[in-house]
């Protein structure tokens, strides 16, 4: 069962989250400040981190930024306050995979946790029967080779000319999905549903897709400002283009 690191300094909130996630069968670790969270994430390698933004010692943004800089690839869900809309985008830009806004229901939290664990290696077996959508070849642990890219489902990473790109779980899912259906344009809404596993409400969700695409381009493309793999189709969405030989 997946191991989740819950980072929350407000004890009453932390207790409720831990109680509800433990009941789902997850193994839970907790941290009450950013420094401890960072250390635990690197030493205990949780499968997912639920990361509050406002924390003592080091805030959630900085924890996320440092973990990604260290090459940590597990899904990170940022917990933001409703009134701080910019926090959501900033968190995604720093490498978070998703966010949830306070106050949230336990049902919403469980759905987000499941959606973010679903396609990571740990849950691939238990989720395979309930997964009704098409899965990417790479998500099956297979190998896709496109141009100078190799997308390796076993390693959950991609390589450009043999060099590991250090993709996060969400970046990997997005890349392998687009690459499998290359030449086909997907709207932000479709990507939300098929890569993030939940229904888009537009607005912020569209920005989630945009920010993640930009992050992915920063790793995959030689020149992210003139991408040759992940192409924007204005007014329509994104597609993976097979580069000309
Ligand atoms: Ca807090």
Write out pLDDT tens, residues 124-154: 443 343 343 444 445 556 788 888 899 998 8
The pLDDT of 217-235, averaged and rounded, is 93
Q: Looking at 82-86, 90-94, 186-190, 227-231, which range is the least confident one? A: 82-86
On whether both 61 and 165 belong to a single domain, the answer is no
Predicted pLDDT of residue 133: 42
pLDDT digits (tens, 9 = 90+) for 151-180: 998 888 899 998 999 998 889 999 999 999
Residue 217 lies in a domain: yes
- Total of domains in the chain: 2
Predicted pLDDT of residue 154: 84
Name the residue among 18, 195, 48, 209 with its Cα closest to residue 123: 48
d(CA 175, CA 136) in angstroms, rounded, equals 10
The pLDDT of 95-111, averaged and rounded, is 89
On whether both 29 and 112 belong to a single domain, the answer is yes
CATH number at residue 101: 3.40.50.2300
Q: In which domain, by residue range, is 177 found?
A: 137-240
* Cα 6 to averaged position of ligand 1 atoms, centre (Å): 12
What tokens does 161 get? 């000319």
On whether both 201 and 226 belong to a single domain, the answer is yes
The pLDDT of 204-213, averaged and rounded, is 85
d(CA 94, CA 113) in angstroms, rounded, equals 19
pLDDT digits (tens, 9 = 90+) for 1-29: 899 999 999 999 999 999 999 999 999 99
Predicted pLDDT of residue 139: 53
* Cα 60 to averaged position of ligand 1 atoms, centre (Å): 9
Residue 51 lies in a domain: yes
Instruction: Look at 170 and 120; give whichever has higher pLDDT.
Output: 170
In angstroms, what CA-CA distances link 50 with 8, 65, 71, 92, 218? Answer: 8, 14, 18, 14, 24
* Cα 93 to averaged position of ligand 1 atoms, centre (Å): 20
CATH number at residue 163: 1.10.10.10
Q: Name the DSSP class of 239.
A: E
- β-bridge pairing 163-164 and 157-160: antiparallel
- 42 pLDDT above the threshold of 50: yes
The pocket of ion ligand 1, defined by CB under 5 A, consists of: 9, 52, 54
What tokens does 78 get? 């940022």
C-beta of residue 164 within 8 angstroms of C-beta of residue 177: no
Q: Please list, residue by residue across 190-226, b when 16 or more beta carbons sit within 10 angstroms of its beta carbon and e when fewer do.
A: bbbbbbbbeebeeeebbebbebbbebbbebbbeeeee
């Amino acid at each position: 069962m997946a191991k989740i690191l819950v980072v929350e300094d407000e004890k009453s909130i932390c207790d409720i989250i831990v109680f509800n996630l433990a009941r789902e069968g997850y193994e839970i670790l907790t941290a009450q400040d950013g420094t401890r969270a960072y250390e635990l994430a690197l030493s205990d390698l949780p499968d997912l981190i639920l990361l509050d933004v406002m924390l003592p010692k080091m805030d959630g943004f900085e924890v996320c930024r440092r973990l990604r800089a260290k090459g940590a690839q597990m899904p990170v869900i940022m917990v933001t306050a409703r009134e701080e809309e910019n926090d959501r985008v900033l968190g995604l830009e720093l490498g978070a995979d998703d966010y949830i806004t306070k106050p949230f229901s336990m049902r919403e939290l469980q759905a987000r946790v499941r959606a973010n664990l679903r396609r990571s290696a740990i849950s691939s077996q238990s989720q395979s029967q309930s997964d009704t959508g098409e899965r990417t070849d790479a998500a099956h642990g297979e190998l896709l080779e496109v141009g100078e890219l190799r997308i390796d489902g076993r390693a959950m990473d991609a390589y450009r000319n043999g060099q590991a790109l250090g993709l996060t779980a969400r970046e990997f899912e997005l890349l392998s999905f687009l690459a499998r259906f290359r030449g086909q344009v997907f709207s932000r809404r479709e990507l939300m549903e098929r890569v993030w596993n939940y229904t888009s409400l537009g607005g912020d969700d569209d920005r989630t897709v945009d920010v993640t695409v930009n992050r992915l381009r920063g790793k995959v493309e030689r020149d992210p400002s003139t991408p040759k793999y992940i192409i924007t189709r204005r007014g329509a969405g994104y597609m993976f283009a097979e580069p000309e030989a």
